[in-house]
């Protein structure tokens, strides 16, 4: 029996995924979480075989959460499940430690198959995000956004969404000063002088923060 932790901030959505996954007799949802804080507590309490994790959470970005779960347990097997179809999001999820990335527009069978692949320790990407491109980005040092760490990527996403350093710090449980320092490092790495330059460069390289 594969024991799963399901992380999504919408209870109705979690119920749908629970029903889908538990149709398979060898899959069981042992815990659910609607926030990153709940997810970390459930992960500690239940030690799931696979964590199926939405990247859009109210208290912390999923990329940051993946990194924290992997810090706690380097062998954790995590499947990112997201509305984002841009390969760059898949790349950052994989860099943070996820084994798989499936979009929410995928067919149900794709999600089920991905759970088994991740449980087996295999990398998997849903077909609708162009897996070959995602793998190429993961290995391509010429894309400037590739140089960002998962945390810098998460801070950039929140900055582009209009959040202030204090808000970002509260989400990521870091100080506003750390956010400001990261903001500076992000601009330095990307060669952006202003936030407008930063937004234009991000958009040009396929970064959609919505």
Domain boundaries along the sequence of the chain: 2-139, 144-204
Take residue 48 and report the two structure tokens written for it: 């799931």
CATH architecture of 2-139: 3-Layer(aba) Sandwich (3.40)
Checking if the pLDDT of 209 tops 60, the result is no
CATH architecture of 144-204: Orthogonal Bundle (1.10)
d(CA 76, CA 69): 7
pLDDT at position 74: 95
**Contact, 144 vs 201, CB < 8 A?**
yes
Q: Which residues of 140-165 are buried (b: 16+ CB within 10 A; e: fewer)?
A: eeeeebbebbbbbbbbbbbbbeebeb
Which has more confidence, 117 or 195? 117
pTM (2 d.p.)? 0.77
DSSP 8-state assignment for residue 8: -
């Amino acid at each position: 029996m594969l024991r799963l932790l399901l992380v999504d901030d919408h209870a109705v959505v979690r119920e749908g995924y629970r029903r889908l996954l538990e149709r398979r007799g060898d899959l069981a949802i042992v815990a659910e979480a609607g926030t990153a804080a709940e997810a970390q507590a459930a992960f500690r309490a239940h030690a799931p075989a696979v964590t199926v994790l939405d990247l859009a959470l109210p208290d912390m970005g999923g990329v940051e959460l993946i990194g924290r779960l992997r810090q706690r347990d380097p062998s954790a097997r995590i499947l990112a499940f997201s509305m984002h179809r841009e390969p760059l999001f898949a790349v950052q999820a994989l860099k943070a430690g996820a084994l798989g990335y499936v979009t929410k527009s995928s067919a149900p069978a794709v999600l089920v198959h991905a759970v088994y692949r991740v449980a087996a320790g295999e990398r998997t990407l849903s077909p609708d995000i162009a897996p070959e491109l995602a793998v190429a980005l993961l290995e391509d040092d010429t894309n400037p956004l590739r140089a960002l760490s998962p945390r810098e990527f998460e801070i950039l996403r929140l900055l582009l969404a209009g959040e202030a350093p204090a808000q970002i710090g509260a989400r990521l449980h870091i100080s506003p000063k750390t956010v400001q320092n990261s903001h500076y490092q992000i601009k330095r790495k990307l060669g952006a002088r202003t936030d407008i330059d930063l937004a234009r460069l991000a958009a040009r390289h396929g970064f959609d923060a919505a």
